[in-house]
Structure 1
Amino acid sequence: MSTKIRFLLRYIFVGALSLFPLILVIVVVNYLKNLGISAYLSLHDYTDSFELTLALMIGVIGVFAVLGFSIEKYGRSIFVSMIDSTFEKIPAIRSVYSVSKKLAAMLSGGEDGTKKEVVLVEYPKEGLWVPAYLLNRHENICVLFIPTSPNPTSGYTVLVDEALIKKTTLSLQEASSFIISMGADFSQKEDVSALIQTHRTSAQEL
């Protein structure tokens, strides 16, 4: 009987995992739906008009699209620059706004027209390689953000010598996909494996 129960639990677990992508999509869609409904109800409380509320929501979406287009095409937006200038003059929220802006730039793939590098670093100990985002550097010291799996927005900020990192050709999106999928989506596996193998060979020769 115990053997049958173990097999039954295993089948349930495997079945649940097979539907995990579908469940994740449903959760995300449901979250976006609830967010949209909440935004609509909040606006409707002020306007008390279906047509006006719908027009405002379409207008907000249009503003987002225009901002995204201007930033992607020209690298900046006059409207966003005005907001930046305003908040940077307010001491109480200047630091929080500045940090939030840098995080948003990192997650979008670049800041000031440049893209963040994805590197490999041995962490938390020698022999264990993890992908990390190169955020800043001073001389030979690099500031890395090491994301955790499956949530790439949480992690650790570390300072390491540049000689201890390995540069990769992974994009921010590819690295994030690797982390979110817990390694199931392993883009450019050959290049990454070659980097680690080269490092191992060099260490053995030393």
Structure 2
Amino acid sequence: MKKYFIAGILVWAPLSITVWVIAWGLGLLDGVFGSVMHAIIVVLPRDAALDVQHFRDLPGVGILIVIAVIMLTGFLAISFAGQWWLKIWDKFVNRIPIVRSIYSSVQQVSSTLFSGSGQAFSKALLIRYPHADSWVIAFQTGVPAREVTAKLGEDYVNVFLPTTPNPTSGFFMIVPRAQTIELEMSVEEALKHIVSMGSVPPNSSSGLTPPQSPRHF
């Protein structure tokens, strides 16, 4: 009975989690559209508001419209006129005291994560954590800030150490490059290995890079 129960969980758990994540994402998009439509309904006359409400109640319409708006925004953003308007918008937002700090931070993180030329999660590394006799898999996210580099006086790298089995949380660390071991596995393979708590081996034939000569902090 225990064997059958575990086998059933292994079949249903990935499917259930996948459906839940997709449903959460679609619900989030639909919620964004619903908020916009609610604001429109409030300012419209009664008859027009009823027509808009009926249109809003159609299943899937909100998701399709949000996706279409995102695609249209992206198309306009890469055009010459769109880039000019984005510069005007950035200047306007950066003049608002509290908003500018949040907006600029999110903008920089988004540009780093979604840009193909960014350094975020560029490679998987082995680092020593939480003590010198144990190793964990982390991801290189770039190099330290200029001030940090000047004060440390050595070659350091920024790494993100994800937690298991939830890789969306973790630790940001600055470690010496000499005390890291670069892995040949891809970032995707390393992430699967972490999420599975080491039970799913990498697909590459090389797997983990053999440990090099011992290093000490």
TM-score under structure 1 length normalisation: 0.68
Give CA-to-partner distance per residue, 1:102-123, whole Å, 9 cap, x none. 333344365xx33432231222
**Structure-2 residue corresponding to 1:131:** 138
Q: CA deviation at 1:156?
A: 0.5
**Structure-1 residue corresponding to 2:178:** 163
1:40–1:53 contact (8 Å) kept in structure 2:
no
Q: What is the count of residue pairs matched by the alignment? A: 187
* SS at 1:19 equivalent: helix
Letter in 2 for 1:13: I
Give CA-to-partner distance per residue, 1:140-198, whole Å, 9 cap, x none. 122221111233221101121111112345555444444344442624351x42x2x15
**Structure-2 residue corresponding to 1:19:** 12
TM-score under structure 2 length normalisation: 0.65
**Structure-2 residue corresponding to 1:35:** 28
Query: In 2, Cα distance between the equivalents of 1:70 and 1:40?
Result: 20
Larger CA deviation: 45-54 vs 142-151: 45-54
Give CA-to-partner distance per residue, 1:50-80, whole Å, 9 cap, x none. 4589888655423422454677x89xx6255
Gaps of 5+ in 2: 42-48
Q: 1:61 aligns with which of 34, 50, 67?
A: 67
Q: 1:114 aligns with which of 112, 115, 118?
A: 118
Query: In 1, Cα distance between the equivalents of 2:86 and 2:20?
Result: 31
**Structure-2 residue corresponding to 1:88:** 94
1:119–1:134 contact (8 Å) kept in structure 2:
no
Gaps of 5+ in 1: 1-7
Large movers: runs of 4+ above 6 Å: 52-57
> What percent identity do the matched residue pairs reach?
25
Distance 1:66 1:172, change over 3 A: farther
